[in-house]
């Protein structure tokens, strides 16, 4: 395959994904730094592309958190066998969207040939060489990576690609409603995966057109502005269906994609997940956890799985130094390093961050737990989390608490007497006091 560059789009504030995108209530975690199956999303992207021959990466970042956290992970790429360069901080002042950031970086780094522009908040599985061949055959300025989805799933959530009779792209709909989709595409539609193969030289020439330069000064996102401009001004744009693309833009999407990854539905990721699939029920269990003894029985996880006192369902990953008590049940879950899983706890469809504690008897399903979360469940008063709860880092949940679909920002302390309705979002102490029926310390009404 011919040599090409890759441009990572690392911007935005991850509002939909909160609290996953918060290190604390007032400090963002870059979406690129979000962890999935033991690695950050930006590491997954670089490794997958590097395995397909890409060794030059450029990070089009916007915002100090995005730039600093991505650089802390990738540095300059030496450990991954690639080179990585970062956009200038001063570019943030005039950033008007992902399209503008891309055009500026193409010019600044004097990029020619082909470049793959990719999002840093997703995982994907596709054949880059085949996409390049399709791009060359169509003589396009941009080839859009697309995924076929049911119209009901795409409505209001994804940009949609419209094709003409000859198969070429004729337009785009930015997150249309279901009625609009049914009028334009029927029950199945082609959605924009946010990944673009571009002819750098031709796109740089187009960027000098006065109308596009004027648009870039106001607002120039890829999906809502740049692609419609290209099609509307007669520039060739095509689409290429890729095998798999996982959205992680919300807690529900994150958990859905995690489950698919654990089911090996992303073949390019499967062989790179650490630890590899082991002998126990096909689970991935790090050796340090497999032979770690729990404090109650003094027996190893391997022994407890063998005699049935710990049950491992399908598609489980357990990181390093995880202590698993007797009577634990795990299925379709990802358990980070240094986690304590208490006696009789049950986790299904759970992402559990590093060094968290899950107390005895906890019943957790379809939930995200950040790093160092403390679930203070007891066998007498179990904690129940369900329906896509998402707990930020260092959240504490007291015994007897039952939450359904609730999002909790980092470092909050949830007491069982708080009557928190399903689907609520707790962003601070004021929200907690409201559901406890109390007032803030300054006496103002919550």
pLDDT in tens, 185-224: 678 899 999 999 999 999 999 999 999 999 999 999 999 9
Q: Tell me the whole-structure pTM to 2 decimals.
A: 0.93
- Confidence category of residue 167, pLDDT binned at 50, 70, 90: confident
For residue range 110-160, what is the model confidence (pLDDT) as tens digits? 999 999 999 999 999 999 999 999 999 999 999 999 999 999 988 988 989
The answer to whether 346 and 328 are in contact (CB under 8 A) is yes
**Angle formed at CA 144 by CA 139 and CA 145, multiple of 5 degrees:** 125
- According to DSSP, the β-strands at 122-125 and 169-173 are unpaired
Whether CATH 1.10.10 fits 272-436: no
Query: pLDDT digit string (tens) for 341-387?
Result: 999 999 999 999 999 999 999 999 999 999 999 999 999 999 999 99
Q: Are the C-beta atoms of residues 325 and 303 closer than 8 Å to each other? A: no
In order, the DSSP letters of 109-148 are: TT--SEEEEEESSEEEE--HHHHHHHHHHHT-SEEEEEEE
Query: In this predicted structure, what is the pLDDT of residue 302?
Result: 95
CATH of domain 4-262: 3.90.550.10
Q: How far lies 417's CA from each of 367, 395, 397, in Å?
A: 21, 16, 11
Banded pLDDT at 287 (limits 50, 70, 90): very high
Q: Do domains 4-262 and 272-436 have the same CATH topology?
A: no
Compute the C-alpha angle 340/344/346, nearest 5°.
80
12: tokens are: 């935005």
pLDDT at 16: 87
Q: What is the structure's pLDDT at 175?
A: 87
Which tens digits make up the pLDDT trace of 382-398? 999 999 999 999 999 99
The domains of the chain are located at: 4-262, 272-436
Mean pLDDT of the chain: 93
Neighbours of 148 (CB within 10 A): 12
- Output the CA–CA distances (angstroms, integers) from residue 280 to 286, 287, 295, 317, in the order listed: 11, 12, 22, 11
Token pair for residue 92?
């943030």
Q: State yes or no: pLDDT of 440 exceeds 60.
A: no
Q: Which long-range contacts (CB under 8 A, 24 or more apart) does 395-400 make?
A: 395/369, 395/370, 397/373, 399/359
């Amino acid at each position: 395959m011919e040599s090409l560059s890759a441009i990572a789009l690392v911007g935005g504030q991850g509002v939909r994904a909160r609290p996953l995108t918060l290190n604390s209530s007032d400090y963002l975690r870059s979406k690129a730094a979000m962890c999935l199956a033991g690695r950050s999303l930006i590491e997954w992207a670089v490794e997958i592309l590097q395995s397909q021959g890409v060794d030059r990466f450029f990070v089009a970042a916007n915002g100090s958190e995005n730039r600093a956290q991505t650089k802390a992970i990738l540095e300059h790429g030496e450990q991954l066998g690639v080179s990585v360069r970062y956009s200038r901080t001063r570019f943030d002042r005039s950033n008007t969207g992902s399209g503008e950031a891309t055009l500026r970086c193409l010019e600044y780094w004097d990029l020619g040939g082909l470049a793959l522009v990719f999002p840093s908040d997703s995982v994907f599985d596709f054949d880059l060489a085949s996409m390049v061949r399709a791009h060359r055959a169509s003589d396009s300025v941009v080839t859009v990576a697309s995924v076929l989805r049911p119209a009901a799933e795409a409505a209001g959530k994804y940009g949609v690609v419209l094709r003409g009779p000859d198969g070429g792209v004729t337009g785009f709909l930015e997150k249309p409603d279901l009625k609009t989709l049914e009028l334009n595409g029927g029950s199945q539609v082609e959605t924009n995966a946010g990944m673009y193969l571009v002819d750098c030289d031709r796109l740089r020439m187009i960027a000098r057109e006065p109308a596009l330069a004027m648009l870039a000064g106001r607002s120039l996102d890829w999906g809502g502005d740049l692609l419609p401009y290209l099609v509307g001004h007669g520039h060739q744009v095509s689409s290429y269906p890729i095998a798999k693309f996982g959205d992680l833009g919300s807690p529900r999407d994150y958990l859905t994609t995690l489950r698919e990854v654990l089911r090996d539905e992303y073949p390019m990721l499967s062989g790179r997940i650490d630890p590899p699939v082991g002998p126990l029920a096909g689970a991935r269990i790090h050796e340090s956890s497999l032979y770690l003894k729990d404090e109650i029985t003094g027996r190893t996880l391997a022994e407890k799985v063998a005699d049935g006192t710990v049950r491992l369902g399908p598609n489980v990953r357990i990181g390093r130094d995880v202590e698993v008590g007797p009577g634990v049940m795990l299925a379709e879950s990802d358990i980070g390093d240094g986690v304590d899983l208490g006696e009789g706890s049950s986790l299904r469809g759970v992402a559990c961050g590093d060094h968290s504690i899950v107390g005895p008897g906890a019943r957790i399903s379809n939930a995200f737990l950040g790093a160092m979360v403390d679930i203070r469940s007891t066998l007498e008063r179990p904690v129940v989390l369900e329906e896509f709860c998402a707990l930020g880092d260092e959240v504490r949940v007291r015994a007897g608490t039952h939450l359904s679909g609730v999002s909790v920002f980092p470092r909050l302390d949830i007491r069982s007497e708080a009557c928190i309705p399903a689907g609520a979002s707790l962003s601070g102490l004021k929200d907690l006091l409201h559901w406890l029926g109390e007032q803030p310390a300054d006496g103002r009404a919550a």
